[in-house]
Amino acid sequence: MTSTAARSRKVHRKSLGRRIVDNWQPYVLLLIPVVITIVYKYGPMYGIQIAFRNYNPGLGITASPWVGWKWFERFFKAPTFDRMLWNTVKLSFYGLVWSFPVPIIMSLALNQLRFKRLKRTVQTVIYAPHFISTMVICGMLRIFLSPSGGLINLLAGTQIDFLTEAGAFRTIYVASGIWQEAGWGTIIYLATLSSVDASLYEAAKVDGASVFQRILHIDIPCLLPMIILQLIMSVSGLMSVGFEKAYLLQTDLNRATSDIIAIYVYEQGIVSAKYELGTAVGLFNTAINIVLLMIVNRIAKKFGDVNFV
């Protein structure tokens, strides 16, 4: 025991050079991940500058002529710019407002459920949609929303073609998002609730507190830090609203609400190979996300111990 302590003290006295040599093996382990990260993560960051250039693959990135804000201006002047910006903001805002509380409410209910087998069954089932591809989810949505014999129309006795209604798009997007992810979202809240001291519940019971009062005075205060943390993380990703689902549910007739910035990046940058424009718009999106991240980080610091970066 004493020799261990002496040894660890000796370790700390070693010089930096000595410690680096002693740790050559962990550095070797890091080698491949670091190289891949430099090439495929930092490489693209370096490539962002083509947003300010007329990119000529023959000349390479740095030799291509500098054009300043040209591509950004083109984006801002695009006939659909206002529509895309507001669709992006609204879709993610509605998504956040409607989706965020659902896993919290579900967790509060499930946590008070005394029949453990039922609780476990519900948990297993509600995780399932999280494991299904967006492609399959959108395929299912198209089947359910079909005007001729889709489940929704069968149940409602109507023949509405929902995916051609611009007014229905956001509801479809948000509701299916809740269906797919709310169950998965309960994991973190249920884990937090499982750390509540059982004697608190006992004491509350003796004092005659109802289930509702126990939720209100024990569970919710216990969850609050986690709720704030989750909210911060959601807000900071507000502009990265899911491209996949919007793209797969888009039809010519619902573009008024389904056109979002991410689709524009894909269509301009990849499909039409306008690399500079695609890069500029992507950068615009990232910039807004980073500003949001900094704002919520500052707000979070006011809450004290919530530190997420």
Partner 1 sequence: MSVLSKRKQGELSGMSDRASDIVLVIISVIILLIVAYPLYYILVASFSDPYDVYAGKTFLLPSQATLDGYKAVFAEQNIVRGYGNSILYTVVGTIYSVALIYLVAYPLSVPDLPFKKVVSIFFIITMYFGGGLIPTYLIVQKTGIMQTIWAMFLPGGVAVSNAIIARNYFENSIPGALKEAASIDGASHFRIFFSMIIPLSTPILSVMVVFSMVAYWNDWFTALIYMTNEQAPLPLVLRNILIKSSASASQASMISGGYAELNKMTEMIKFASIIVAAAPMLIIYPFVQKYFEKGLMAGAVKG
**Which residues, numbered 16-45, are part of the site for partner 1 (CB under 8 A)?**
16, 19-20, 23, 25-27, 29-30, 32-34, 36-37, 39-45
Q: Give the range of 3-11, 62-70, 77-85, 92-100 binding partner 1 by CB under 8 A.
A: 3-11
Q: Which is nearer to partner 1, 76 or 184 (CB)?
A: 184
Q: Where are the alpha helices (DSSP H) in 207-274?
A: 211-214, 220-236, 243-249, 255-258, 261-265
Give the nearer residue to partner 1 in terms of CB position, either 30 or 97: 30
Instruction: Determine, following the binding rule CB under 8 A, whether residue 6 of this chain makes contact with partner 1.
Output: no
293 binds partner 1 (CB under 8 A): yes
Chosen residue from 104, 145, 278, 296 binding partner 1 by CB under 8 A: 278
State which of residues 53, 129, 245, 261 lies at the interface with partner 1 (CB under 8 A): 129
- Count of residues that bind partner 1 according to CB under 8 A: 103
Q: Which is nearer to partner 1, 91 or 280 (CB)?
A: 280
Smallest distance from partner 1 to CB 282, Å: 3
User: Who contacts 303 (Cβ-Cβ below 8 Å, separation ≥6)?
Assistant: 225, 228
Q: Assess contact for 209 and 222: CB atoms under 8 A.
A: no
The per-residue b/e assignment along 90-114, b for 16 or more CB within 10 angstroms, e otherwise, is: ebbeebbebbbebbbebbbebbeee
Output the six-digit token pair for 185: 């979202």
Among 69, 86, 127, 303, binds partner 1 (CB under 8 A): 127
Nearer to partner 1, 32 or 198 (CB): 32
Looking at residues 73 to 112 of the shown chain, list those that interact with partner 1 (rule: CB under 8 A).
106, 109-110, 112
- Secondary structure element (H or E) that encloses residue 72, with its range: helix 70-77
Nearer to partner 1, 115 or 198 (CB): 115
Give the tokens for residue 175. 């509701």
Residue 197's closest CA among 183, 212, 180, 214?
Answer: 214
The total of other beta-carbon atoms located within 10 Å of residue 229's CB is 17
Closest to partner 1 by CB, 12 vs 77, is 12
Examine residue 133 and tell whether it contacts partner 1 (CB under 8 A). Answer: yes
Query: Which of 90, 142, 181, 299 is close enough to bind partner 1 by CB under 8 A?
Result: 142
Burial class (CB in 10 A: 0-12, 13-18, 19+), 10: exposed
Contacting partner 1 within 255-274 (CB under 8 A): 265-266, 269-270
Q: Where does 113-165 have alpha helices with state H? A: 116-127, 134-144, 151-156
Question: Among the candidate windows 62-70, 75-83, 165-173, 204-212, which touches partner 1 by CB under 8 A?
Answer: 204-212
Binds partner 1 by CB under 8 A, chosen from 149, 298, 304, 305:
149
Indicate which single residue of 132, 203, 216, 295 sits in contact with partner 1 (rule: CB under 8 A). 132
Establish if 203 lies at the interface with partner 1 (CB under 8 A).
no
Of 303, 63, 105, the C-alpha closest to 216 is 105
Q: How far is the CB of 25 from partner 1 (least distance, A)?
A: 4
* 39 and 48 Cβ atoms separated by less than 8 Å: no
Say how many Å lie between the first and final Cα of the chain, rounded.
Answer: 37
Nearest C-alpha neighbor of 235 from the set 298, 193, 143, 163: 298
| Of 97, 216, 253, 290, the one binding partner 1 by CB under 8 A | 290
253 touches partner 1 (CB under 8 A): no
Distance CA 240, CA 261 (A): 9
